[in-house]
Amino acid sequence: MQKTFGFQHNSNHIEMKKINLLFILIGLSVSVLGQDLDDFINQANSFFIQHVHQGQVDYGKAQESKGLKDLVATIKTFDFSKLDENKKKAYFINVYNLLVINQITEHWPTSSPMNINGFFDNVKQNIGGNSWTLSYLENKVMRPTFKDARLHFVLVCGAKSCPPIINEAYFPSTLEIQLEEQTKAALNNPNFIKTEGAKTLVSEIFKWYESDFKLKSKNVTTYINTYRENKITGKIAYYSYDWSVNGMLEQTKGQTQLEKKTKFNLQTYNTGSLLQKGRFDFSMFNSMYTQSKSNWMGVNYSGTRETFLSTLFQFTYGTSKNARFNLGIDFKLAASGKSTSSSKFSTVSRVLKLTNTDTTRVGLAYVGPRIKIQPFKSEPNFTMQSSVLVPTTPSSEGKSADENGNGALAFLEWDRIQWWTQFFFVKSFKKAQLFLEADLWYRIGYKKNQATALDVPLTLIYSYFPTPKTTFYALASHSVRNQYNPNNYSDAITSANNDTSAGLGFKYKITSKLNLELLYTNFLRGVNSGLGNTFNVGFRYVY
C-alpha cells in the first residue's frame, strides 16, 4: 500500500510540475509578446518625436533613418494575431502611419502621394506576412474590426488635408485618451472645419466615410457637434481635398524647397501619368517603319520597299493642383520613301531625301489639341486622354499625275480629321509595372466620298526595373478597324483591317528629368495591312 501510495504521490507531483511549467511558459510568451509590442511602439514613438514637427513630416531626414527601416522590418514579421483588440488597434494605427511615411520616403521628393502610382490601392505592404495595400488595411481590416470613426482623425495619409500627424506613437494604455484628443483637436481646427460666413465647409472625409460617422450619430453634423465648441447650426458643404504632401518645407525666395526639388520618378512615369499644376512634359518620339511585304484584300505583295519616318512632338501642361486635369498639344512631322524591295541602306534611306515627288514626301502631317484627365478620384490608376488632330499638308494621301503626267505625289499621312481617345490603366509592383491601353481612333472623312474608319488598338506593356535608372519592357498590340463608306464608295481605308505586333524596349534615365527610350517592334501578322518593322528612339523631359 505504501508503494502504491508513493507512486500516486510522485505522479501527482510530476503533474503539478507540468502544470506549473505550462503556466510559466504561457506567462513568458505573453510577457515576450507584450515586450515586443512595447519595444515596437517605443521605437515608433522615438521616430515620430524626431521626424514630425507641428503636423509636418521631415521626409528628407526620415529617408535616411535607420529607425524607420528597422520599424518596417519589424512590421513584416510581427505576429499581431494574439493581441487583444485595444493593443491591435494601437498597433495598426502606428503601422499605417509608418508605412505611409516609408512609402513617401521611397519616392522623395514628391509633391503628393497621388503622384506615386498605386500608393493606396496597388502597392502591397508586408504586414505580419500578409500582403495588404494601405487601402486594404484601412477599409477591410481596421474599419470593419474596430467600427470607430475616430480612426479617421489619427490615420494620416501623407497629405495636407489629412488631420495633422502628431509627434508621438499611439500607446495601448493611453489610446482612448489620444483618440478623443485628436478627434476633438481636428474638429475644432479652423483649417479642418472651415467657416465662410454662414456656410460651414468640412473635409471630404465626411462624405467618403459617411456611414462610419452615422454609426453612433444621426448624421455627420451631429457627430461633428459632439466634439465642437462652436456648434454647426446650418448645412454643411465639402471643400476639395488637398493632396499636397504634408512635408516640412523651407521657404526660399518665395519658392518652397519642395517646389525646387520635386521630381517625377521617370522610371514609373508613363503615357497615362498626369502632371500637377505648373509642371510640364515634353516628349519627342521618332519612329521609322519599313516594309517590303504587305497583305491587301487577301493578296500578299512584295517587290517594293516603303519606309515612313515620323517625329511626334507632344507638349503637356499640368493645370490643376490635384493633378487630375492636363492640357496638351501634338504635332507630327512625317516623311516617306518608296523604292525597290532591297533592304540596303540606300533604299531605306530614300525616306531621308525629304522631297515631294511620286516616290518621296515630307511635311507637317497634323497638329491638334489634347486633354488628359483622371475621371474617377477613387481610381487614380485609371486615366484617359483625347486629341483632335487636323491634317496640315495638302494631298497628304498622295495624288495621281495630271493629264501631262506631272504632279504625282506619294502617300504621306491620312488626310482625315483624327479623333484619338486613349484609356490607360497601370498596376505597379515592387520592381515592375503592368500598363494597359485601349484606344478609340476615329479617322473622319471630311471630303466627298472619303470613308470614315474606327481603329481599336489594344496594347499591353510589361516593364521591369533592374536598377533605378534602367527599364526593360515588352509589349504586345492588336488592332482592328471598322469602316463606313459613303455611297458604297471604297477608298484607301479598308474595312477588314486587323494586325498584331510585338516589341521589346529599353529606357534609361539620363537625369532625374530626362529619359531616353529605344523600341523595336515587328508586325507578326496582318490582314489588309503592312507586315514590316519599326525602329524607335524617344526622349521625354519632365520639369
Tell me, yes or no, whether 436 and 308 share the same domain: yes
pTM score of the predicted model = 0.55
Q: Are residues 217 and 306 in the same domain?
A: no
Backbone angles phi, psi at 42, to 5 degrees: -65, -40
Residue 245 lies inside a defined structural domain of this protein: no
Answer yes or no: are the C-beta atoms of 224 and 235 closer than 8 Å: no
Mind listing the pLDDT tens digit for each residue in 204-228?
999 999 999 988 888 999 999 999 9
What's the rounded Cα separation, in Å, for the pair 304 and 293? 8
Report d(CA 418, CA 526) in Å as an integer.
22
Question: Can you give the pLDDT at residue 197?
Answer: 77
**484 three-state secondary structure:** strand
Q: How far apart are alpha carbons 489 and 430 in whole angstroms?
A: 53
- Residue 22 located in a structural domain: no
Tell me what pLDDT residue 4 has. 40
**Residues 341, 419: one domain?**
yes
Pick the last residue of a domain from 238, 257, 281: 238
CATH number at residue 440: 2.40.160.40
Asked whether the beta carbons of 463 and 435 are under 8 A apart, the reply is: yes
Would you give the end-to-end CA distance of the chain in angstroms?
96
Asked whether the predicted pLDDT for residue 462 surpasses 90, the reply is yes
Residues 6 or more apart in contact with residue 55 via CB below 8 angstroms: 164, 165, 166, 246
Side chain identity, residue 154: V
Lowest model confidence (mean pLDDT) among 24-38, 43-57, 138-152: 24-38
CA angle 163, 164, 168 (to 5 degrees): 125
pLDDT at 48 (0 to 100)? 95
Position with higher pLDDT, 399 vs 449: 399
Contact 238, 248 (CB under 8 A): no
**Domain extent at residue 488:** 271-542
Three-state SS for 134-183 is: HHHHHHHHHHHHHCCHHHHHCCCCCECCCCCCCCCCCCHHHHHHHHHHHH
Do both 399 and 347 map to the same domain? yes
Q: Tell me if 315 is assigned to some domain.
A: yes
3-state secondary structure of 383: strand
Specify if 110 maps to a domain.
yes
3-state secondary structure of 399: strand
Distance CA 408, CA 398 (A): 7
- Quick one: 388 and 280 in the same domain? yes
Q: In whole angstroms, how far apart are CA 125 and each of 44, 60, 121, 200, 523?
A: 18, 22, 11, 37, 39
Say which residues have a Cβ less than 8 Å from residue 160's Cβ, sequence separation at least 6: 242, 243, 244, 245, 246
Grid coordinates belonging to 323: 493633378
Q: Is residue 197 situated within a structural domain?
A: yes
Q: Which residue has the higher pLDDT, 403 or 484?
A: 403
Identify whether 264 is part of a domain: no
What is the DSSP annotation of 39-107? HHHHHHHHHHHHHEETTEE-HHHHTT-HHHHHHHHHHHH---TTS-HHHHHHHHHHHHHHHHHHHHHTT
How does residue 254 score in pLDDT terms, banded at 50, 70 and 90?
A: very low
**440 and 295 fall within a common domain:** yes
Report yes or no: 347 and 372 within 8 Å, Cβ to Cβ: no
Residue 478, burial from CB neighbour count under 10 angstroms (0-12, 13-18, 19+):
middle
Residue 2, pLDDT score = 38
Amino acid type, 77: T
Residue indicated by cell numbers 483618440: 179
Residues 331 and 437 in one domain: yes
Query: pLDDT tens across 422-435, in order?
Result: 999 998 877 889 99
Q: What is the pLDDT of residue 28?
A: 42
| 476 assigned to some structural domain | yes
Q: Residue 169 and residue 84: Cα distance in Å, rounded? A: 18
Mean pLDDT of the chain: 85
The answer to whether the CB of 477 falls within 8 A of the CB of 500 is: yes
Confidence check: pLDDT of 15 > 60:
no
Query: What is the C-alpha separation between 434 and 426, in angstroms, rounded?
Result: 6
Number of structural domains (the chain) is 2
Q: 199-202 and 236-238: which strand pairing?
A: parallel
Q: For a pLDDT cut of 90, what percent of the chain falls above it?
A: 57
Question: Count of H helices and E strands in the chain?
Answer: 12, 22
- 135-161 pLDDT, tens digit each: 999 999 999 999 999 999 999 999 999
Confidence of residue 377 (pLDDT cuts 50, 70, 90): confident
Domain termination site, one of 238, 262, 280: 238
Tell me how long the chain is. 543
- Mean pLDDT for the stretch of residues 390-411: 88
- Please name which of 393, 111, 123 lies closest in space to residue 259, comparing C-alpha atoms: 111
Per cent of the chain over pLDDT 70 is 87
Mean pLDDT (whole number) for 228-250? 86
Query: Is 226 found in the same domain as 298?
Result: no
Judgement on whether residues 186 and 57 belong to the same structural domain of the protein: yes
Residue 115 lies in a domain: yes
The domain boundary, picked from 238, 263, 286, lies at 238
**Nearest C-alpha neighbor of 511 from the set 479, 543, 476:** 543
35 pLDDT more than 70:
no
Residue with the bigger pLDDT between 34 and 8: it is 34
Biggest CA–CA distance in the chain, Å, is 136
Residues 510 and 422 in one domain: yes
Do 188 and 325 share a structural domain? no
- What pLDDT score does 486 carry? 58
Helix axes 2-51, 66-77, angle to 10 degrees: 140
Q: Which of 504, 543, 502 is nearest to 524 (CA)?
A: 502
Range name among 63-72, 303-312, 342-351, 456-465 with the lowest pLDDT average: 342-351
Domain shared by 213 and 279, yes or no: no
Amino acid identity of residue 333, one-letter, is L
Residue matched to cell numbers 497628304:
396
